[in-house]
Amino acid sequence: MVDGGAASSELKVLGACPLDCPDGCSWVVTVRDGKAVRLRGNPDHPYTRGALCTKVNRWLERAEQPDRILYPMRRVGAKGEGRFERITWDEALDEIAERLRGVIGEHGGEAVWPYWGTGTLGYLQGCEGFGGRRFFNVLGASAHAVDICSAAGAAGMEAAIGSAGGMDPQDLAHAKLVLLWGTNPLTSGHHVWKFVQDARKAGARLVAIDPVRTRTAQQADEHLAPLPGTDAALALGLLNVIVGLGAQDEDFLRDHTQGWEEFRERIAEFPPERAAEITGVPVADIVALGERIARTRPTAIRATQGIQRHSGGGATLRVLAGIPAVTGDWRLHGGGLAFSTSGHIKLNKAALYRDDLRPGPVRTLSMSRLGEGLLDVQDPPVKALFVIAANPAGSTPHQNKVRRGLAREDLFTVVLEQFPTDTVDYADIVLPATAQHEHADLHEAYGHLHLAWNEPAVAPPGECLPTSETFRRLARRMGIEEPAVYDSDERLAEQLLASGHPWMAGITLDRLRKEGFVRMAVPDPFVPYADGFPTPSGRLEFRSARAAGAGADPLAGYVPPVEVADPERARRYPLALISAASHEFLNTQFANNPELRRRAGEPAVRVHPDDAAARGLADGQRVRVGNDRGSFEAVLRVSDEVRPGVAATAKGHWPRFAGGANANAVVDERATDLGGGPVFHDTRVEITAAG
């Protein structure tokens, strides 16, 4: 890559992928003459191991796409129309400050909703807190729950083991049996695959549990295809087999769990025949897998977000976390359940957020229920909406309701964005945002235990600004006196790192800057629950007072998926729709990249040959996928990769490139049993020929 005398001006800058993906990759940007010319996975990072992914390999190309938003803009057309005029930053900030003062004066601070999404997971620019949160706290704005992704599962894990954490996915390498349960890592976070392969090389067996024979399931030794949302019943059936063999670890259960006797009774209610009836998995498969788990130590379960996008998503993780307690795998290196490592991250988030700056208590609005928040919530109604690193017109449940909310004439909407999304179409003011290699940020990962610093590699294009800087400028315009809202990115990072926790020992901003990433100083080997759990009782809680307090069954068990398990709804809408991660997009990001769009093809929905035949539909035909909330168009793919009764599509297509709607047109905005999460994969539809 050395060209002429330019080599001397070539620079390698360490950074991190900001996307909502467990892998939290470390990357290296090559900068020549102030321009980013290359971006590669960091070969020194033990999880990244030099590779990025299909999507992020096009990061630099995407950042330079002609549709990049480079200047502030003001709406000139109707809401939703997407017509704008360029304005200056001064004009934009003046107008926002004036409108905000008006809204707060008339309706109070809670009429302001900072709706930040998962476009970047960075602590400074993204949803985990970012500098701008202090600005909204000073205003007394409504709080915002980023509950759209893993809230149900995290709440289920919290109830059972006191943390969303679980085992370190890197330790899957030490398992003898690996269950990939409602997770499709070869698409949604492929770096864990190397550790799974290491385990297989040492003789481990791999089982995939997924209603769809995914890329990942195709590589497994065995595949079970339950009906969506029925995994807790499957788990109880497996436990029934395990306990029937007397294979439970009585010592671990006695010393480290609470409510075992009651949970054991519940297990007895799920003989394999009953589990088979609920899940659609053959009895013989349940018995065989139960026996295999009973005799294989250590067994490791990897579950991520797909498994908990159902009404019973919280309950599902409570039961799954119970399996390694019954088998005693929680005490073994290479055993347990890996859900999200975020539960192990010991940053000082309170010092970053500064929620103490709020003038008083404020209500919390839900990211998953934007339609409800804009149309139903009163006292006060939301009058000013800031959309930050989110694309709710494409990502959020009940798309038609979301659009009705965004179209409200009396709502003042500011969108901070890189690209002209369907959400931008509803903005009054659009502010141009930097991309990761143009700004600084600090990252954790939710698939491994390393922290990373992302050093800006190049100057921002046009008039793009980092989110943190945008809110410092807006604060100045509003005349806010609180000094904490003006802290620099570096200062914020230092405050965040200073938690004093032993696992953070020696991790300073200087060191992160120099090394790019640092693994938290956890014990080695890392077997976090060998001697107990961070619950109130210090035990894994089959019976949980906290779950009961949140309105759930005190005892872990099976909570049926509301739509999938409803016979009346099944008569009207016979197919259970799953809209999972697309291979080419990351949520809605990259779905405006021409090459990745070409590779992804038009939106498709896959059904089993029996379900296609029953409707007289053929492969390649255009169809309408709908229910009483709305519909979207797709091309039909007929394939036995999908189990009967299920329709599989992908999230991420921009509505504007997909005939005006995507899968979220049919998804309800109701909440999961725990955590207030969304129910993307608990949706019933019917498929008909497109008119």
Ligand X SMILES: Nc1nc2c(c(=O)[nH]1)N[C@H]1C(S)=C(S)[C@@H](COP(=O)(O)OP(=O)(O)OC[C@H]3O[C@@H](n4cnc5c(=O)[nH]c(N)nc54)[C@H](O)[C@@H]3O)O[C@H]1N2
Tell which one of 96, 148, 177, 199 touches ligand X (CB under 6 A): 148
Report if residue 557 touches ligand SF4, rule: CB under 6 A: no
Report if residue 63 touches ligand SF4, rule: CB under 6 A: no
State how far the Cα of 539 lies from the Cα of 252, in Å rounded to an integer: 10
Pick from ligand SF4, Mo ion, ligand X, none: which does 210 bind, CB < 5 to 8 A by kind? ligand X
103-129 burial, b for 16+ CB within 10 Å, e for fewer? bbeebbbbbbbbbbbbbbbbbbbbbbb
Only segment of 53-61, 144-152, 493-501, 597-605 that touches ligand SF4 (CB under 6 A)? 53-61
Using alpha carbons, select from 568, 540, 478 the residue that is nearest to residue 161. 540
Only segment of 51-59, 82-90, 109-117, 347-355 that touches ligand SF4 (CB under 6 A)? 51-59
Report if residue 588 touches ligand X, rule: CB under 6 A: yes
Pick from ligand SF4, Mo ion, ligand X, none: which does 681 bind, CB < 5 to 8 A by kind? ligand X
Using alpha carbons, select from 568, 576, 550 the residue that is nearest to residue 229. 576
Q: List Cβ neighbours of 300 (8 Å cut-off, separation of 6 or more).
A: 167, 171, 172, 174, 175, 177, 178, 179, 199, 329, 334, 335, 336, 337, 338
Report if residue 72 touches ligand X, rule: CB under 6 A: no
Residues 14-33 that bind ligand SF4 (CB under 6 A): 17, 19, 21, 23-25
Asked if residue 467 lies in contact with residue 416, where contact means CB atoms within 8 angstroms, the answer is yes
What is the residue-wise DSSP string for 420-467? --TTGGG-SEEEEB--GGGS-EEE--SSSSEEEEE---SPPSTT-B-H
3-class DSSP state of 468 = helix
342-376 burial, b for 16+ CB within 10 Å, e for fewer? bbbbbbbeebbbbeebbeeebeebbbbbbbbbbee
Q: Which amino acid is at 232?
A: A
Q: List Cβ neighbours of 378 (8 Å cut-off, separation of 6 or more).
A: none
- Which residue reads 């005006």 in tokens? 660
Q: x/- site string to ligand X, residues 409 to 438, per CB under 6 A?
A: -------xxxx-x-----------x-----
State how far the Cα of 84 lies from the Cα of 399, in Å rounded to an integer: 23
Report if residue 392 touches ligand X, rule: CB under 6 A: yes
Q: What sign does the dihedral 146-147-149-153 (CA atoms) show?
A: positive
The residue among 264 and 597 lying less far from ligand X, judged by its C-beta, is: 597
Residues 150-189 that bind ligand X (CB under 6 A): 181-184, 187-189
Residues 166-195 that bind ligand SF4 (CB under 6 A): 189
The residue among 59 and 260 lying less far from ligand SF4, judged by its C-beta, is: 59
Strands 604-607 and 646-650, sheet pairing = antiparallel
Q: x/- site string to ligand SF4, residues 561 to 600, per CB under 6 A?
A: -------------------------x--------------
Report if residue 580 touches ligand X, rule: CB under 6 A: yes
State how far the Cα of 473 lies from the Cα of 536, in Å rounded to an integer: 43
Only segment of 13-21, 88-96, 592-600, 660-668 that touches ligand SF4 (CB under 6 A)? 13-21
How wide is the angle at C-alpha 630 spanned by C-alphas 624 and 635, nearest 5°? 20
The residue among 165 and 652 lying less far from ligand X, judged by its C-beta, is: 652
Report if residue 357 touches Mo ion, rule: CB under 5 A: no
Report if residue 220 touches ligand SF4, rule: CB under 6 A: no
Report if residue 52 touches ligand SF4, rule: CB under 6 A: yes
Q: Which amino acid is at 115?
A: Y
Residues 138-197 that bind Mo ion (CB under 5 A): 149
Min dist. Cβ of residue 345 to ligand X (A): 17
Asked if residue 622 lies in contact with residue 636, where contact means CB atoms within 8 angstroms, the answer is yes
Asked if residue 406 lies in contact with residue 393, where contact means CB atoms within 8 angstroms, the answer is yes
Pick from Mo ion, ligand X, ligand SF4, none: which does 24 bind, CB < 5 to 8 A by kind? ligand SF4
Report if residue 20 touches Mo ion, rule: CB under 5 A: yes
Report if residue 248 touches ligand X, rule: CB under 6 A: no
The residue among 155 and 276 lying less far from Mo ion, judged by its C-beta, is: 155
Asked if residue 147 lies in contact with residue 368, where contact means CB atoms within 8 angstroms, the answer is yes
Residues that bind ligand SF4 in the complex, under the rule CB under 6 A: 17, 19, 21, 23-25, 52-53, 55-56, 189, 586
Residues that bind ligand X (CB under 6 A): 20-21, 117-120, 125, 148-149, 181-184, 187-189, 209-212, 214, 226, 228-229, 231, 304-307, 309-310, 388-392, 394-395, 416-419, 421, 433, 467, 578-583, 585-589, 651-652, 663-664, 667, 680-681
**Residues found near Mo ion in the complex (CB under 5 A):** 20, 149
